[in-house]
Chains A and B, each alone.
Chain A
Amino acid sequence: MIDFTLSKAQQAARDYAHQVALEEMRPISLECDRTEEIPESFFWNMQRRYWGGAAAQARAYGQDEGVRQENLLSVISQEEMAWGDAALATAIPGPGLAAPPILSQGTPEQQARFLSIYMDGQLHWGALALTEPGIGSDVAGMSTTAVLDGDEWVINGHKHYITNGARADLIVTFATIDKRLGREGIRPFVVPKGTPGLIVGRIEKKMGLRASQTAELIFDNCRIPKENLLAGRGEKKAGFKAAMGTLDATRPMVGSLAVGIARAAYEAACEWLREELPAGYPPQKRRAWEEELKELGQEIEMARFLVWRAAWMADRRIPNSKEASMSKAYAGALVMKATATAVRITAPGEESERKLLIQKWFRDAKVFDIFEGTAQIQRLVIARRLFPTIDIP
């Protein structure tokens, strides 16, 4: 039955995450953005309060409710995290983007071996490495290679723009085992931190999301055990398709982060109008802004519903790549509009912490049109799903 009310677990996920965002993220947000560094205490607090506390609690409630809802619970809390600070949200300890491919393409033994690392209460991260200097959107054209040599895979190549790349304990790295096979030759490998031949290159300087670590990784005859190839399970063959498949799960997450930033900017602009608008401002201008913000508020709700629907489909195991792309494309465009509007509306008057935050969110927003598939790539995915028999290059 169509229902837009949150269950107890869903409400709990939202409330806990909101509290954590408010107390752990907002207070250090501007400082981390300035320094591009995150204090160690943040990681430990998140480990304790988020993974150990809020998320675990919400998962427990979720189990009581007897339906699969991990995707929904996660987008609901991600929105709050991004409302706090999207860059810090990407740095929360845990397997992160490495988890989806391990879960969907690892054997039970591999899942246990790799994911248990994250259960010891210490600080661990994961990363996903697809992008290379030579290819981004066109993932199938990657040139990183993996060659089997006895009991080991030897990886050679160059990845860049990898979130948490320098701190990740495990990096799920995509490489081709035979370039002639094209996309069919692409496989995911789990490369542990500290493997000889894995070299961390530059850490990027970015316009936004500055506290999030974006690293270059070089694989120079990097040898990993044969058992670190995620070879798929049963029918589901690992490889390019599978890599793209994991994006169906992560795109709504990225969409929810965008919604969280958009909401933060919207709320701050509304508050600014109420509290900081310089006296003597023309009332018709103020009314025009209120209209604009009202419109924005409605668009934020639509973005959130698209995200929720895509996550709900994932929980129900309903194929959702079209809907996942819709949620990401819509939210990506919206967060740009929301933050740009907030910057423009709050332009008059004195500098304030609120305004600095708005400016930061504006800088953070643009990346949501880019990573996990650009705005154009999302539209391609939607169009190809709408017209499966037509070749849309």
Chain B
Amino acid sequence: MLDFAPTEEQEEIRKLAQSIALDHLRPHARKAEAERDSSTELRLTLAQTGLTTPFPEEYGGSGPLEAVTYTLIAEELAYGDPGLALNIIGSLMGPLTVWLAGSREQQERYLPPFGDPTSGYLQRGSLAFAERSGSYTLADVHLQARRTGEGYLLNGTKRDVVHGQRADLRVVLARLAESESAEGQLCAFVLHGVQEGLSIQDEEEKLGLQAAPSATYHFHQAQLPAEALLGEAGSSGAVRAATLYQILRAAIACGTARAAFEYCSAYARERIAFGRPIVSYQGIAFIIAEMAMKLDAARLLTWRAACSWDRGEADETLIYEAESAQHQAVKMAQAATTDAIQVMGGAGFMQDHPAEMWMRDAAAME
């Protein structure tokens, strides 16, 4: 039955995430951007809340993730800072993909380090999704995996891999092709003990989202052992992981837009021009009204995809809904952050205010 209200429990978790975002993310955003990473203290703080271990308790997690709940969390984190939110969620996607796609044995092997109460927060995961086009759509995943006697041979390129450089757990999405010509099924592999054929390059000069360090992978005849394939070829795990990432990226875009919307609203209320607050002019008020409207629209689309994910809808439905949500939310966030600067005039262009950073962050989302 149609319903648009989070549960009380979700509302509490959302508030918790919001207070973390405002107390610990927003104030450190510029520093994280400069240092191109989150601080250890921040990761410890987050780990203590349980927000960063959403997998089963048996592996030390705080309970398995629900997409709707985590969508609410992701929006709040990005409301604090988009780059740090992506840093956190990009890391999470490593263990989450193992949980979603891996066999029991693989889960037992890779998840406990992330759930470790004393050292788990030092672990970094990663999920390599985007390729040359930079887009997070499954049709653009072409990294080729071929079966060999001992395991798999990977060829292709991944970019924008958050934590790709330093991750303790590297997962990649690839196409397992049975023949040279076929496109192959979506699969997830753990890069473990790859000796040759993989080069990793830090992506240093980024337009935005610098607080989420990322890398490019080049695979050239890279040999992976048989146990590198998570779960079985053709199971839905990889699709569920990929669509979850898309949904959470959509939520990050919504949080970014909300940050920009609220920030420029507060500014427009205070700033006086021609003797009146600038928001009393329709030219400004309508921009902000439009922002609020389109943010709500994109958020609803994101929630819908998250609901379907939680209900375990069919792969095609999930892919359509998650990709729609991501596409619309990113587009909306790009418009909202750009307009926020317009509302603020010259001040918006200055680095004293976060608006310019959010505009670059949103631009870097696709």
Query: Is chain B's binding surface mostly helix, strand, loop or mixed?
Result: helix
* Interface pair B301/A302, CB less than 8 Å apart: yes
- Closest chain B CB from A262 CB (angstroms): 14
Q: Using an 8 Å CB-CB cutoff, how does the interface string of A294-318 with B read, 1 for contact, 0 for none?
A: 0000110111011011001100000
Query: In this assembly, does B146 line the interface, its C-beta being within 8 Å of a C-beta of chain A?
Result: no
- Closest chain A CB from B223 CB (angstroms): 38
Query: In this assembly, does B4 line the interface, its C-beta being within 8 Å of a C-beta of chain A?
Result: yes
Query: In this assembly, does A330 line the interface, its C-beta being within 8 Å of a C-beta of chain B?
Result: yes
Contact flag A302-B2 (CB < 8 Å), given A379-B289, A386-B292, A387-B279: no
Q: Which chain B residues numbered 297 to 314 have a C-beta less than 8 Å away from chain A?
A: 297-298, 300-301, 303-304, 306-308, 311
Contact flag A383-B297 (CB < 8 Å), given A2-B303, A2-B307, A312-B3: no
Task: State in angstroms the CA–CA spacing of A5 and B311 once bound together.
Answer: 10
Closest B residue by C-beta to A326: B293
Q: Using an 8 Å CB-CB cutoff, how does the interface string of A359-393 with B read, 1 for contact, 0 for none?
A: 00000000000000000100110110011011111
Query: In this assembly, does A63 line the interface, its C-beta being within 8 Å of a C-beta of chain B?
Result: no
Query: In this assembly, does B5 line the interface, its C-beta being within 8 Å of a C-beta of chain A?
Result: yes
- Closest chain B CB from A50 CB (angstroms): 22
* Interface pair B290/A4, CB less than 8 Å apart: no
Contact flag A4-B304 (CB < 8 Å), given A10-B2, A326-B296: yes
Residues from chain B with a CB closer than 8 A to the CB of A254 are: none
- Closest chain B CB from A258 CB (angstroms): 14
Instruction: Report which residue of B285, B293, B303 has the largest number of chain A beta carbons within 10 angstroms of its beta carbon.
Output: B293
Contact flag A302-B328 (CB < 8 Å), given A329-B293, A386-B292, A391-B280: yes
Closest A residue by C-beta to B278: A390
Contact flag A383-B286 (CB < 8 Å), given A302-B298, A330-B293: yes
Instruction: Report which residue of A1, A380, A391 has the largest number of chain B beta carbons within 10 angstroms of its beta carbon.
Output: A1
Residues from chain A with a CB closer than 8 A to the CB of B296 are: 306, 309, 323, 326
Q: Using an 8 Å CB-CB cutoff, how does the interface string of B1-22 with A read, 1 for contact, 0 for none?
A: 1111111001000000000000
Contact flag A386-B4 (CB < 8 Å), given A298-B301, A305-B300, A380-B282: no
Query: In this assembly, does B145 line the interface, its C-beta being within 8 Å of a C-beta of chain A?
Result: no
What is the total of A-B residue contacts with beta carbons within 8 Å?
Answer: 116
- Closest chain B CB from A101 CB (angstroms): 26
Residues from chain B with a CB closer than 8 A to the CB of A65 are: 1
Residues from chain B with a CB closer than 8 A to the CB of A330 are: 293-294, 297
* Interface pair A6/B285, CB less than 8 Å apart: no
Query: In this assembly, does A7 line the interface, its C-beta being within 8 Å of a C-beta of chain B?
Result: yes
Residues from chain B with a CB closer than 8 A to the CB of A323 are: 296
Closest A residue by C-beta to B281: A392
Residues from chain B with a CB closer than 8 A to the CB of A386 are: 265, 288-289, 292
Q: Which chain A residues numbered 124 to 160 have a C-beta less than 8 Å away from chain B?
A: none
Query: In this assembly, does A72 line the interface, its C-beta being within 8 Å of a C-beta of chain B?
Result: yes
**Count of chain B residues with a beta carbon within 8 Å of a chain A beta carbon:** 37
Closest A residue by C-beta to B301: A302
Query: In this assembly, does B26 line the interface, its C-beta being within 8 Å of a C-beta of chain A?
Result: no
Residues from chain A with a CB closer than 8 A to the CB of B269 are: 387, 389-390
* Interface pair B285/A380, CB less than 8 Å apart: yes
**Count of chain A residues with a beta carbon within 8 Å of a chain B beta carbon:** 39
Residues from chain B with a CB closer than 8 A to the CB of A392 are: 279-280, 282, 285
Task: State in angstroms the CA–CA spacing of A5 and B304 once bound together.
Answer: 9
Residues from chain B with a CB closer than 8 A to the CB of A383 are: 279, 282, 285-286, 288-289
Contact flag A303-B292 (CB < 8 Å), given A2-B3, A2-B4, A6-B1: no
Residues from chain A with a CB closer than 8 A to the CB of B280 are: 390-393
Contact flag A387-B265 (CB < 8 Å), given A4-B304, A330-B293, A379-B285: yes
Query: In this assembly, does B327 line the interface, its C-beta being within 8 Å of a C-beta of chain A?
Result: yes
- Closest chain B CB from A148 CB (angstroms): 39
* Interface pair B293/A312, CB less than 8 Å apart: no
- Closest chain A CB from B155 CB (angstroms): 28
* Interface pair B303/A301, CB less than 8 Å apart: no
Contact residue among B4, B265, B277, B288 (Cβ-Cβ distance under 8 Å from A309): B4
- Closest chain B CB from A386 CB (angstroms): 6
Query: Is chain A's binding surface mostly helix, strand, loop or mixed?
Result: helix
* Interface pair A298/B303, CB less than 8 Å apart: no
Residues from chain A with a CB closer than 8 A to the CB of B279 are: 383, 387, 390, 392
Task: State in angstroms the CA–CA spacing of A323 and B292 once bound together.
Answer: 10
Residues from chain B with a CB closer than 8 A to the CB of A67 are: 1
* Interface pair A3/B3, CB less than 8 Å apart: yes
Query: In this assembly, does B126 line the interface, its C-beta being within 8 Å of a C-beta of chain A?
Result: no
Instruction: Report which residue of A3, A303, A390 has the largest number of chain B beta carbons within 10 angstroms of its beta carbon.
Output: A3
Q: Using an 8 Å CB-CB cutoff, how does the interface string of B80-104 with A read, 1 for contact, 0 for none?
A: 0000000000000000000000000
Closest A residue by C-beta to B293: A326
Q: Using an 8 Å CB-CB cutoff, how does the interface string of A174-203 with B read, 1 for contact, 0 for none?
A: 000000000000000000000000000000
* Interface pair A326/B292, CB less than 8 Å apart: yes
Residues from chain A with a CB closer than 8 A to the CB of B107 are: none
- Closest chain B CB from A2 CB (angstroms): 5
Closest B residue by C-beta to A375: B286
Task: State in angstroms the CA–CA spacing of A72 and B2 once bound together.
Answer: 9
Query: In this assembly, does B324 line the interface, its C-beta being within 8 Å of a C-beta of chain A?
Result: yes
* Interface pair B307/A298, CB less than 8 Å apart: no
Query: In this assembly, does B162 line the interface, its C-beta being within 8 Å of a C-beta of chain A?
Result: no
Residues from chain A with a CB closer than 8 A to the CB of B327 are: 298
Query: In this assembly, does B153 line the interface, its C-beta being within 8 Å of a C-beta of chain A?
Result: no
Query: In this assembly, does B333 line the interface, its C-beta being within 8 Å of a C-beta of chain A?
Result: no
Residues from chain A with a CB closer than 8 A to the CB of B286 are: 376, 379-380, 383
Instruction: Report which residue of A312, A380, A382 has the largest number of chain B beta carbons within 10 angstroms of its beta carbon.
Output: A382
* Interface pair A1/B3, CB less than 8 Å apart: yes
Residues from chain B with a CB closer than 8 A to the CB of A312 are: 2-4
- Closest chain B CB from A102 CB (angstroms): 27
Task: State in angstroms the CA–CA spacing of A313 and B300 once bound together.
Answer: 14
* Interface pair B292/A382, CB less than 8 Å apart: yes
Residues from chain A with a CB closer than 8 A to the CB of B355 are: none
Closest B residue by C-beta to A303: B297
Q: Using an 8 Å CB-CB cutoff, how does the interface string of B270-288 with A read, 1 for contact, 0 for none?
A: 0000000101101001101
Task: State in angstroms the CA–CA spacing of A6 and B1 once bound together.
Answer: 5
New contact pairs (11) apart from A302-B300, A387-B265, CB-CB < 8 Å? A4-B2, A10-B1, A10-B2, A72-B2, A306-B297, A312-B3, A313-B4, A329-B289, A380-B289, A390-B269, A393-B280
Question: 20 interchain pairs (CB within 8 A)?
Answer: A1-B6, A2-B4, A2-B303, A4-B304, A4-B308, A7-B1, A10-B1, A298-B301, A298-B324, A301-B304, A301-B324, A305-B297, A306-B293, A326-B293, A330-B294, A379-B282, A379-B285, A382-B289, A382-B293, A387-B279
Pairs of residues from A and B, 8 with the lowest C-beta to C-beta distance, nearest first: A7-B1, A305-B300, A383-B285, A302-B297, A382-B289, A326-B293, A3-B3, A379-B289
